[in-house]
């Protein structure tokens, strides 16, 4: 994995305009893993995808995440800082063959973790509940009762629900949550932390800064965008210091 350069940040931002979050996550990872095909990245479990996004964020912008959440009690915006490694296990474990096994209501289910391909396939779901059910159904490889194979579409809701719950707890990197406390009203709550959406938000801010730098240097020295983006951040800053006097 290599960190994202100024050129990568601009390019990813450009390609990700009006794209869903799952697609933006893959666009962020692509330049960092130049030897991986799109198919390979899209086939990573969401836990592994997130672990790579957290690691890439750390390599590119440092290990401290500064975020804001709104208190559900009094609506106060709460600013907080958290370390990448405090939020996510960067090497999530998975079963050796990639399949989990669970017995619910006498039905034995074999299933795998969802991937970006699965998220894309259920993106047109009518509701969150529908998306979750479709997602879990896609991940079930086989269901049997007393050795008899059952059609996956006919599995009872509690079985599908149990598989979804199992995935949520066995792969915490797939659904990262953190505990927050409000200093104003004392409320404690659990906040979901979506690294793909968070990193994308940061990317937009980085792009604004880079574009301003390119604009200043291009005006001052007549250099082209590709030349300025090819410089290290240190070299760019040295010239910016001269321009800003
Ligand atoms: Zn509050």
CA of 186 to the centre of ligand 1 (A): 6
- How far apart (Å, rounded) are the C-alpha atoms in residues 193 and 80? 12
CA of 178 to the centre of ligand 1 (A): 16
Match 């290990």 to its residue by tokens: 63
CA of 188 to the centre of ligand 1 (A): 8
At 113-156, the pLDDT tens digits run 999 999 999 999 999 888 888 999 999 999 999 989 999 988 99
Q: Looking at residue 236, what is its pLDDT?
A: 93
CA of 87 to the centre of ligand 1 (A): 22
Residue 14 has pLDDT above 90, yes or no: yes
DSSP secondary structure letters along the chain: --PPPHHHHHHHHHHTTT--HHHHHHHHHHHHSTTS-HHHHHTSBHHHHHHHHHHHHHHHH-SEEEEEEE-TTT--EEEEEEEHHHH--SS----TTS-EEEEETTEEEEE---BHHHHHHTTT-SSHHHHHHHHHHHHEEEEEETTEE--GGG--HHHHHHHHHHHHHH-GGGS-EEEEE-TTT--EEEEE--HHHHHHHHHHHHHHHHHHHHHHHHHHH---HHHHHHS-HHHHHHHHHHHH-
Residue 159 has pLDDT above 80, yes or no: yes
CA of 79 to the centre of ligand 1 (A): 12
CA of 68 to the centre of ligand 1 (A): 13
CA of 81 to the centre of ligand 1 (A): 18
CA of 192 to the centre of ligand 1 (A): 17
Position with higher pLDDT, 131 vs 94: 131
CA of 84 to the centre of ligand 1 (A): 25
CA of 74 to the centre of ligand 1 (A): 4
Confidence band of 88 (pLDDT split at 50, 70, 90)? confident
Mean of pLDDT values over 199-203 = 95
Confidence band of 208 (pLDDT split at 50, 70, 90)? very high
CA of 35 to the centre of ligand 1 (A): 46
Cβ neighbours for 98, distance < 8 A, ≥ 6 positions apart: 112, 113
Q: Looking at residue 32, what is its pLDDT?
A: 97
Q: Looking at residue 244, what is its pLDDT?
A: 87
CA of 28 to the centre of ligand 1 (A): 34
CA of 189 to the centre of ligand 1 (A): 10
Share of the chain above pLDDT 70, in %: 100
Strand duo 64-70 + 140-145: pairing? unpaired
Q: Looking at residue 93, what is its pLDDT?
A: 77
At 212-241, the pLDDT tens digits run 999 999 999 999 999 999 999 899 999 999
Q: Looking at residue 173, what is its pLDDT?
A: 87
Q: Looking at residue 170, what is its pLDDT?
A: 83
């Amino acid at each position: 994995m290599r960190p994202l350069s100024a050129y990568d940040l601009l390019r990813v931002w450009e390609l990700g305009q009006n794209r869903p979050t799952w697609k933006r996550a893959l666009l962020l990872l692509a330049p960092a893993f130049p030897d991986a095909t799109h198919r390979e990245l899209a086939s990573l479990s969401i836990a592994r995808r997130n672990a790579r996004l957290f690691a890439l964020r750390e390599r590119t912008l440092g290990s401290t995440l500064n975020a804001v959440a709104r208190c559900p009690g009094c609506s106060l915006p709460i600013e907080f800082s958290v370390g990448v490694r405090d939020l996510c296990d960067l090497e999530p474990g998975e079963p050796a063959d990639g399949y989990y096994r669970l017995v619910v209501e006498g039905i034995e289910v074999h299933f795998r973790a969802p991937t970006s391909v699965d998220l894309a396939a259920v993106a047109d779901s009518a509701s969150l509940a529908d998306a979750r059910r479709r997602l879990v159904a896609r991940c079930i490889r086989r269901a049997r009762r007393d050795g008899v194979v059952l059609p996956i579409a006919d599995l009872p809701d509690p079985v599908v629900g149990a598989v979804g719950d199992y995935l949520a707890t066995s792969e915490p990197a797939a659904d990262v949550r953190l505990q927050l406390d409000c200093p104003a009203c004392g409320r404690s709550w659990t906040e979901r932390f979506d690294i793909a959406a968070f990193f994308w938000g940061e990317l937009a801010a980085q792009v604004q800064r880079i574009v301003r730098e390119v604009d200043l240097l291009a005006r001052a020295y007549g250099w082209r965008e590709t030349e300025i983006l090819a410089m290290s951040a240190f070299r760019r800053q040295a010239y910016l210091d001269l321009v800003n006097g």
